[in-house]
Amino acid sequence: MRISAGDLRDPQVQRLLLLHLNGMRQNSPEGSVYALDLAGLEQPEISFWAAWDEGDLLGIAALKVLPGAEGEIKSMRTSPEHLRKGVARALLKHIIEVAKEQGIWRLSLETGSGASFEPALALYRSFGFSNGAPFGGYRASDFNQFLHLDMSDGPTSLDQNKGLSTESPHSAQIVDDRLTGRCLCGAVRYEVADAFEYSLNCHCSDCRRATGAAFKSLAGIASYKLRVRSGEESIFRYGDKAAQDLHCRNCGSLIYSLVHDGRIAHVAMGTLDQAPSIRPSKHIFVASKAPWHEITDDLPQFDEFD
Ligand SMILES: [Zn+2]
Ligand SMILES: [Zn+2]
């Protein structure tokens, strides 16, 4: 079996995609079909793969990158002539590996209920996916369900589980030193590993405006090591895919920022419930600092980043 980038112009790929769309429509109530068509799969945030055996198409699958370094699995379909040969399992494993490489902290999918969805559900559960809240703008209904695989305990967890554990990967990570944090009103709560790679006081005008303070103390960490425990639906994102600030929609608190295309989280340290092990090591963008503010500590000062 060979898995490679799928060609949406390939007639076998198009035929299987059509079969997938029709199958979804047959087995889902009106208004509950979210499967992507050809145009939907051509969007830049989507990676699409096909599994082949020589010239025979075995199956297709896609990964959509959502804002905030989350991933959504789409268009998983095995060719009817190649069922029960491990095609879907191989494609799912491939998606999980790519997602880990990209620093995605959670993989999610939307699917339906009923007998025709059971084999797929069993497959996802065997990889540790479990039912959870709607995500990415989906609305809950009696028919659809949402599965998530949390990868926030790091890139090694799936290697340890070999992707076959039926236990939630959550159980393994309680032993880590974790910090919690929340917004002013408490609607949004998160947890993050106490393993920040750096911590800075940023005096740039963006940080001053985003916080309303003289400067922002931030701590940086790979974004998969942070996860929102509750209030995901209350998060408001300001910015674009490359860099965005996540605020609570209710109280306005800046909770953290995602930078470097979502791979790095900058936690606004004022939202932490406990003291992290790290301390700010320097002042940056001091050239833009508020003129009414005087830096009175001995930390090194840099006009720009360093
Ligand atoms: Zn809030
Ligand atoms: Zn700044």
Whose atoms come closest to the Cα of 230: which ligand? Answer: 1
List beta partners, residue 73.
Answer: 63
User: What is the whole-number distance in angstroms between the Cα of residue 205 and the centre of ligand 2?
Assistant: 7
Q: How is the chain split into domains, by residue range?
A: 2-172, 178-288
Please give the average per-residue pLDDT across 53-67, as a whole number. 92
Alpha carbon of 210 to ligand 1 centroid (Å): 15
267 CA from centroid of ligand 1 (Å): 15
Q: Percent of the chain, pLDDT > 70?
A: 92
Q: Distance from the CA of 289 to the center of ligand 2, in angstroms?
A: 10
In this prediction, residue 36 carries a pLDDT of 86
* Choice between 113 and 52, residue whose per-residue pLDDT is larger: 52
**Ligand sitting nearest the alpha carbon of 245:** 2
Q: Band of the pLDDT at 12, cuts 50, 70, 90? A: very high
Alpha-carbon distance of 2 to 246, in angstroms, equals: 39
- Residue 158: predicted pLDDT: 37
- Amino acid 240: pLDDT: 84
What's the mean pLDDT in 51-74?
Answer: 91
Q: What is the mean pLDDT of the chain?
A: 87
Ligand nearest to the CA of 257: 2
- Whether the predicted pLDDT of 71 surpasses 70: yes
Tell me: the pLDDT tens digits for 187-203?
A: 999 999 999 999 999 99
Ligand nearest to the CA of residue 233, numbered in listed order: 1
- What pLDDT is recorded for position 105? 85
**Domain 2-172, CATH homologous superfamily name and number:** Gcn5-related N-acetyltransferase (GNAT) (3.40.630.30)
Predicted pLDDT of residue 142: 84
Angle (deg, nearest 10), helices 118-126 and 87-101: 50
**Ligand 2 centroid from CA 70, angstroms:** 24
Q: What is the pLDDT of residue 91?
A: 96
Distance between Cα 189 and ligand 2 center (Å): 23
Q: What class has domain 178-288?
A: mainly beta
pLDDT, one tens digit per residue, over 122-178 is 999 999 999 988 888 888 888 889 999 988 754 333 333 333 333 333 333 333 588
User: Do 2-172 and 178-288 come out as alike in CATH topology?
Assistant: no
CA angle 49, 54, 58 (to 5 degrees): 45
Kindly give the distance from the C-alpha atom of residue 189 to the centroid of ligand 1, in angstroms, as a whole number. Answer: 9
Measured from the alpha carbon of residue 186, the closest ligand is: 1
What local confidence, expressed as pLDDT, does residue 54 receive? 92
Q: What stretches of the chain show up as alpha helix (H) in DSSP?
A: 11-27, 38-41, 87-101, 118-126, 157-161, 205-211
Separation CA 132–CA 152 (nearest Å): 16
The mean pLDDT value for 260-271 works out to 93
